[in-house]
Structure 1
Amino acid sequence: MTIKFKAGGLFPTLTLPTYQGEVIDLGKPSEDASWRLVVVYRGKHCPLCTRYLNELEAMKARFLQQGVDIVAVSADSEAQVAQHMEQLSVSFPVAYGLTIEQMQTLGVYISHPRSEQETDHPFSEPGLFVVNDQGQVQIIDISNGPFVRPDLNVLLSGIAFIRNPTNNYPIRGTYE
């Protein structure tokens, strides 16, 4: 069962290794930023994920101009991420080893592979979380398939709008 993550809630502490050899807390931005964009991707088997992550790299500097750094994460193993990095041109951290329990905590959809050629483990469908400087989830986007993901230009302009203090834009979707 997958839970629905609460908008405005605190992003959970999820500590994972990265391909770059670090251990990071997914929701904590680096020293260069005050916000963090967490992109949960399906894994090396997904060509749409590869394209999306490479597009994100091309926009990395623009996100940093808005005070937002980037991390990507999947349930892939270290060996699978190493193979995937041959197709990726990214400089942001790529974390791996996301467990089923961690996927459930994030509220993302989880799929079984269609075959051993796809992958050898259950994996997350796409998820995207923008974590603000208070550790709250400012923006959430969760999909049950690889074909629906936020347009990165629209996302970036939305973040710029939200971060502009004259707009006084609250976290949306908090009605209970």
Structure 2
Amino acid sequence: MRSNKISAAAVFPALTVKDTADNEVFLGQRSSDTGWKLVVIYRGKHCPICTKYLNQLEAYKQRLADIEVELVAVSADSAAQLKEHQEQLDVSFPLYYGLSIEQMKGLGLYISEPRSEQETDHPFAEPALFVINSEGRIQVADIANAPFSRPAPDTLVSGLEFLRDPANDYPIRGTYS
């Protein structure tokens, strides 16, 4: 099977998902003109590793806000699944649902079928994250094919603090083709 990987420095695609109030949201749109956005793709409520990771990210929300990086997370779960998952989560950043297979493919994500009906009832994206810069371009992309393969929150946030420091003038990496 062939996958189309989204390129570093590409404009993040216009993807619409839903928030917890069932409002449509443009996933890549930032709430500020100057800031960046960290979009975390997680497997869904069925994944205890994702639950742990999202809860860990909450501890870094202020550090991200200090460097003007907005944090959001999204999965292919349904509204009902997200509502149930929120009972296991202790996060204050926005959570979205309804990522479609076409959207997952457009981002170049790995997509898995559930192992059983007890796991979940739909194909889901494996973990990924995208950091979208103030120009709407992908500054950082991390796409994994397993739930345990994602950057440690402290390493991720420390790296973003370095990137956001104007003294470092750090370019988008991985653009050589």
- Flag the 1:90–1:33 CA change in 2: closer, same or farther, 3 A: farther
Task: Give distance in 2, aligned partners of 1:136 and 1:32.
Answer: 13
Counterpart in the other structure of 1:132: 133
1:122 aligned onto 2:101: no
SS of the residue aligned with 2:119? Answer: coil
Counterpart in the other structure of 1:158: 159
Counterpart in the other structure of 1:52: 53
Counterpart in the other structure of 1:11: 12
Query: What's the TM-score once normalised by structure 2's chain length?
Result: 0.96
Write out the 4+ residue segments of structure 1 that deviate beyond 4 Å after TM superposition.
Answer: none
Aligned length: 176
CA contact (8 A) 1:33 1:69 kept: no
Counterpart in the other structure of 1:169: 170
- Structure 1, unmatched stretches of 5+, are none
CA RMSD of aligned residues (A): 1.3
- Flag the 1:162–1:126 CA change in 2: closer, same or farther, 3 A: same
CA contact (8 A) 1:74 1:124 kept: yes
Percent identity for Structure 1 against Structure 2: 57
Counterpart in the other structure of 2:94: 93
CA contact (8 A) 1:33 1:68 kept: no
Query: Residues 121-170 of structure 1: CA distance to partner in whole angstroms, max 9, x if unpaired?
Result: 00000000000000000000010010111111111111111111121110
CA contact (8 A) 1:7 1:173 kept: yes
Opposite residue 74 of structure 1, the aligned amino acid is S
Query: Residues 65-121 of structure 1: CA distance to partner in whole angstroms, max 9, x if unpaired?
Result: 010011100000000001000001111111101100000011110000000000000
SS of the residue aligned with 1:89? Answer: coil
CA contact (8 A) 2:33 2:134 kept: no
Task: Give distance in 2, aligned partners of 1:4 and 1:15.
Answer: 19
Task: Report the Cα offset of residue 22 of structure 1.
Answer: 3.4
Task: Give distance in 2, aligned partners of 1:55 and 1:83.
Answer: 19
Opposite residue 170 of structure 1, the aligned amino acid is P
Query: What's the TM-score once normalised by structure 1's chain length?
Result: 0.96
Task: Report the Cα offset of residue 23 of structure 1.
Answer: 2.4
1:104 aligned onto 2:105: yes
Task: Report the Cα offset of residue 21 of structure 1.
Answer: 4.3
- Structure 2, unmatched stretches of 5+, are none
CA contact (8 A) 2:45 2:82 kept: yes
